[in-house]
Amino acid sequence: MPDKQAFEEKFWKSIRADMTVMLSVAGVDARPMTAQFDGERKTLYFFTAKDTEIAQKVTRARKATLVYAAKKHDLFATVHGTLRIDNDRETIDRLWNRFVAAWFEKGKDDPKLCLLRFEPADAQIWLDASSLVAGVKMFLGLGDPKKDYEDSVASVSLK
């Protein structure tokens, strides 16, 4: 049985380092987005423009899916949650940075600016089960790779 808390900790550490995810809502294909974090909170924020498909679909809170693959491919996750517009000026001020500023000509006051807020609920997290030991075991016909992999997958509540 996998240690769900360890999976969750690895997920948050990894996504905070990489920040790039694929985000989707019903009717809009997943698209790459850069996550912003407000301290240690489990909420993810995304700056976008009001005229994007995803912003237009989120006029009210909607179920959304976030898909994440770590750069080193040692962790993967599918996260379900709620996406909504949250144009709170104090939050925008806290999260604003030079990378976000590059997308908005008029800065924080750009009329196109839209801040999306993703509240995660549940996640399926996979850890990379491949290793030198696993490869040698498979090569020698020792062990059951499916059984060995069972401890590398967990369903986790991120609420």
- Predicted TM-score (pTM) of this structure: 0.86
Residue 144: band (very low, low, confident or very high) from pLDDT cuts 50, 70, 90: low
Among residues 16, 33, 15, the alpha carbon closest in space to that of 24 is found at 33
pLDDT for 60-111, tens place per residue? 999 999 999 999 889 999 999 999 999 999 999 999 999 999 999 999 999 9
Q: Is 4 helix (H, G, I), strand (E, B) or coil?
A: helix
pLDDT band at 131 (very low <50, low <70, confident <90, very high): very low
Query: Which band of pLDDT confidence, cut at 50, 70 and 90, is reported for residue 25?
Result: very high
For the CA atoms of 17, 121, 44, 55, what is the dihedral angle to 10 degrees? 130
Q: Provide mean pLDDT across the span 46-70.
A: 96
Contact criterion met (CB below 8 Å) for 21 and 70: no
Give the Cα separation of 80 and 119 in Å (integer): 9
CA distances from 51 to 58, 75, 141, 154 (A): 11, 33, 55, 37
